[in-house]
Chains A and B, each alone.
Chain A
Amino acid sequence: MAAPSTDLSAALVLAAPAIADWLVVLPVVLMIGVGALLMMVRKSVRLHGTIAISGLVLLVLLDAALLMRVSIQGPVTMVMGRWLPPFGIAFTADLFGSLMALVSAVVALAAGVFALRDIDAAGRRYGFFPFLMLLMAGVSGAFLTGDIFNLYVWFEVLLISSFGLLILGSEPEQIDGALKYAVLNLIGTTLFLIAVGYLYAIFGTLNMADIAGKASGFRETAPLVTLTALFILAFAMKAAAFPVNFWLPASYHTPRIVVSALFGGLLTKVGIYALIRVTVMLFPVEREELSFVVAISAALTMVIGALGALAQNDLRRLVGYVVIVGIGNMLAGVAIGTPAAVSGSILYALHSVVTMTALYLMAGEAARLGGAWTLSALGGLYRRAPGFSAASLALFLAAAGLPPLSGLWPKLVLLKASLDIGAWWLAAAILLSAFIVTMALARVFLLAYWRPRSEPVLEMVPELVTAIDWRIAWPLGCLTALSIFFGLFPETVLDLSQRAAAGLAEPSAYIGSVFPGGAAP
């Protein structure tokens, strides 16, 4: 065995990673581990809640620690299996990724607590909590990975667990919604895979930092605009932007409300995250070329989403359209593309994760108190639950972007950014959509909360539920408080999102974290 030996040490990581670097992979590993544990104890349903909630609390703590570290020291990287990037799969957390990871962990914890009441024993035996854990593994993985094919894998992980959550209960309506959701999302991720294939054909690498460093060298020779257009289409499909958004209102109102809340809060935002990551960080020049198309799509998404919200009678479908309006706003930031606009998008994404989840949970609680999902049947909620109504009003204001709540600041940043580049029509679309959403939500408040309840409907409610359960009050209250806090004290989040956007526009710190010894050969 006289082997002609090759020196592998040049391709291997030899320095031991700091223990703190493990924070990059731990959120994902934790969620996979807890999910696996829950799958193993699938019969003992009573344990599920405890295990899942402790896992989610730990996830929030890990993500918070990661964010602290990243905001102090800059991006953190860990490469799997000691292989140097771009050969090994890298996990890289920058400010943008870790911010999103933390907010989504907080929201998942709130939804998990809410689910303790909302999901019955049958739903748990079916596997609600394992699916939730795997969904969070997919979401955290997507936010923290530094490898574009790995991003695709995490997309699929969260997609397949979202299928499982979507058909929990197997009612005919859910099957109908799930079929459309599954087919269209699968086509979206396949488009993403096609784009990844072309990307590999052009660059010969899948590491995002490597691509960001090399992109300028390929600009003359390779069809990067086509590639970017393909990525934009794929992620727009995941995010539900205008011409490809129809799967969202067709499916998001069918599952259990806590599942809708998770989807509305997290899944579309993962699409936006990937869109920002790829277009702003990897292909800024090509994004510039396509910005007009994206801007039109953004404006149409906003206005059509707002009009859709105005036309809905079902509370859940209405909230689904409000989610779409938010997507339009974030897309506007991507279209403008200046660091200020991108920071507006990031800020909007953070606000939207919290607010949309809370809105869905609120809709579920309103339907439980009022005994119906439709605006025509609901009424008198204000008299029955004043505290809940106040929280709902706060959330409505936040979602509509009215002061003093969290929706105001991102809209303001985006408006200023679009006026700065002279795109007055984009600014007009933002204002118009906000106005229509305000009308739609004000009508919800008038009809469902203020309107005295008509007697015949009251008869139909079997029992009057008046006591508010802690498993509902805490998640709703905390999310609302978070939204109010974002609104009243926006400095910290504003500063963080500006720094995140700056890090995307100038990714040298990101690249430096993946390639500490300078760029790859």
Chain B
Amino acid sequence: METPFAILIGLFFAAAIYLMLSKHTVRILLGIVLLGNAVNLLLFTTGRLTREVPPIIPNGMDALPAGAANPLPQALILTAIVISFSFFAFLLVLTYRAYQELGTDNTDEMRLAEPRDEERPPMGY
């Protein structure tokens, strides 16, 4: 089961990196979303894939039944999903605001904080 997942994760990473290499903020944003999903899938796969038993303790038992899936990566993914979701919400608003304020979505032209023709410091008194 792990091999197809490994290929899938590789594809996700490739697409994410390709998108993030773009100049345009929206594509970068989409790349980041894909990257987050790639990582979640990666975490899921690192816990070893089993498809038999969900990690829920049945009524009347104190421990997980044998052969249950590993619950820890699922907890990690849940945390990572929440975090990447909140970051995505923030970045979305930030990108929109940047588009409004700076009038462009091209990162090459976002030079407000680092102006191109910046003054050099004086060489003498």
Interface 1/0 per residue, A424-455 and B, CB below 8 Å: 00000000000000000001001100010000
Q: Number of B residues contacting the other chain (C-beta, 8 Å)? A: 45
The reply to whether A3 and B60 form a contact with Cβ atoms under 8 Å apart is yes
The reply to whether A3 and B61 form a contact with Cβ atoms under 8 Å apart is yes
**A253 to B120 alpha-carbon distance, docked (Å):** 17
Contacts of B15 in A (CB 8 A): none
Contacts of A2 in B (CB 8 A): 60
Least CB distance from A444 to B in Å reads: 9
Contacts of B63 in A (CB 8 A): 6
Check: A15 CB closer than 8 A to any chain B CB. Answer: no
Least CB distance from A390 to B in Å reads: 21
Interface 1/0 per residue, B86-115 and A, CB below 8 Å: 110011001101100110000100111110
Of A194-202, A409-417, A456-464, the one contacting chain B is: A194-202
The reply to whether B28 and A172 form a contact with Cβ atoms under 8 Å apart is no
Which residue of chain B lies nearest to A159 when distances are taken between CB atoms in the complex?
B87
B43, B86, B113: the one contacting A193 at CB < 8 Å is B43
Q: Given that A5-B62, A375-B121 are contacting pairs, would A177 and B47 also be in contact in the complex, using a CB cutoff of 8 Å?
A: no
**A254 to B112 alpha-carbon distance, docked (Å):** 10
Contacts of B36 in A (CB 8 A): 190
Contacts of A312 in B (CB 8 A): 121
**A484 to B43 alpha-carbon distance, docked (Å):** 47
The reply to whether B62 and A6 form a contact with Cβ atoms under 8 Å apart is yes
B34-51 at interface with A (beta carbon < 8 Å): 35-36, 39, 42-43, 45-47
Contacts of A167 in B (CB 8 A): 94
The reply to whether A176 and B112 form a contact with Cβ atoms under 8 Å apart is yes
The reply to whether B121 and A160 form a contact with Cβ atoms under 8 Å apart is no
The reply to whether B121 and A447 form a contact with Cβ atoms under 8 Å apart is yes
Of A121-129, A180-188, A488-496, the one contacting chain B is: A180-188
The reply to whether A197 and B110 form a contact with Cβ atoms under 8 Å apart is no
Contacts of B47 in A (CB 8 A): 200-201
B73, B83, B112, B118: the one contacting A173 at CB < 8 Å is B112
Check: A36 CB closer than 8 A to any chain B CB. Answer: no
**A171 to B7 alpha-carbon distance, docked (Å):** 44
Q: Given that A149-B76, A190-B35 are contacting pairs, would A1 and B60 also be in contact in the complex, using a CB cutoff of 8 Å?
A: yes
A476-509 at interface with B (beta carbon < 8 Å): none
Contacts of A251 in B (CB 8 A): 113
Which residue of chain B lies nearest to A446 when distances are taken between CB atoms in the complex?
B125
Most buried by A among B62, B76, B121: B121
Contacts of B84 in A (CB 8 A): 190
Q: Given that A6-B63, A250-B114 are contacting pairs, would A447 and B122 also be in contact in the complex, using a CB cutoff of 8 Å?
A: yes
Contacts of B110 in A (CB 8 A): 176, 179-180
Most buried by B among A183, A311, A375, A446: A183
The reply to whether B32 and A183 form a contact with Cβ atoms under 8 Å apart is yes
Check: A8 CB closer than 8 A to any chain B CB. Answer: yes
Which residue of chain A lies nearest to B101 when distances are taken between CB atoms in the complex?
A172
Q: Given that A176-B98, A375-B122 are contacting pairs, would A160 and B90 also be in contact in the complex, using a CB cutoff of 8 Å?
A: yes
Contacts of A193 in B (CB 8 A): 39, 43, 80
Q: Given that A172-B112, A447-B121 are contacting pairs, would A182 and B94 also be in contact in the complex, using a CB cutoff of 8 Å?
A: yes
**A8 to B84 alpha-carbon distance, docked (Å):** 35
A6, A197, A374, A446: the one contacting B46 at CB < 8 Å is A197
In the A-B complex, the 9 residue pairs with the smallest Cβ-Cβ separation, listed nearest first, are A201-B46, A172-B101, A177-B113, A6-B63, A176-B112, A313-B121, A6-B62, A176-B113, A197-B43
A-B contact pairs, 18 of them (CB 8 A): A4-B61, A6-B62, A153-B83, A156-B83, A160-B86, A163-B90, A179-B94, A180-B110, A190-B35, A193-B80, A198-B46, A200-B43, A201-B46, A254-B113, A374-B121, A376-B119, A376-B121, A447-B121
For the complex with contacts A1-B60, A156-B83, A173-B113, 15 further pairs of A-B residues with Cβ separation under 8 Å are A4-B61, A149-B79, A153-B79, A156-B87, A160-B86, A172-B101, A176-B112, A180-B107, A182-B90, A182-B94, A193-B39, A197-B39, A200-B43, A253-B113, A312-B121
